Amino acid sequence: MKLPVATLLALLAGAVGAQTVSMSGRLGDKALLMIDGSPRTVAVGSTVQGVKLVSVTGDAAVVELGGKRVTVPMGGAQVNLGGVPSEGGGSRIVLPAGPGGHFSSGGSINGRAAEFVVDTGATYVSMSQADAERMGIKYRDGQRGMASTANGTVPVHRVMLNSVRIGDVQVYNVEAMVIPAQMPYVLLGNSFLTRFQMKRENDVMTLEKRP
């Protein structure tokens, strides 16, 4: 059964040129996408015209192009991936609530793909050692310390990330903490969030970049 049509625009730039992707609805585990003006029904895990559908909910779709992911929320602002100015000139991030009421999004750290979940209780952007190694972050050169977690006190490394990007919004020099534990997401803590004015309305969180 097709959901009410709501246009979700995401400009995705591939190796050849920019691609326009919008989402008009959902059919089970398939998303109704408009790719470069052509209607497509895409199943999770499938790739059409270079655009892969990673996941889909009633409120958003996560698509991937050229190894980079973006979450396209219902009614969300236009976002860009790849082939865009390195400074990331956008100023607004719109995040829909996912399962369990968490706000999550695809993005990148130092140009490497990452999956984020907002955590207002975290002082820093926090990630596992496995994620840090995958992104080429030399965390062992960072400042050592101890931190209290749900599993007790653990040794951590504090590092400075060159850039953190979600959609077409990018910020620089973000403090982060690398933890020796398995984590399904990178926690988007206050070292990133304080760069924005945060507003939540029902199941949508909006981050407006501060001047």
d(CA 165, CA 88): 8
Q: What is the pLDDT of the chain when averaged over all its residues? A: 79
Q: How confident is the model at residue 167, as a pLDDT?
A: 81
Where residue 124 falls among pLDDT bands split at 50, 70, 90?
very high
Residue-wise pLDDT for 148-184, tens only, equals: 776 778 899 999 999 999 888 899 999 999 999 889 8
Rounded-to-10 torsion of CA 91, 77, 193, 51: -110
Least confident range from 58-72, 75-89, 113-127, 145-159: namely 75-89
Q: What is the pTM of this model?
A: 0.61
Domains delineated in the chain? 1-84 (2.40.128), 87-211 (2.40.70.10)
pLDDT at residue 75 greater than cutoff 80: no
pLDDT at residue 15 greater than cutoff 50: no
- Sign of dihedral through CA atoms 43, 44, 46, 47? positive
pLDDT at residue 131 greater than cutoff 90: yes
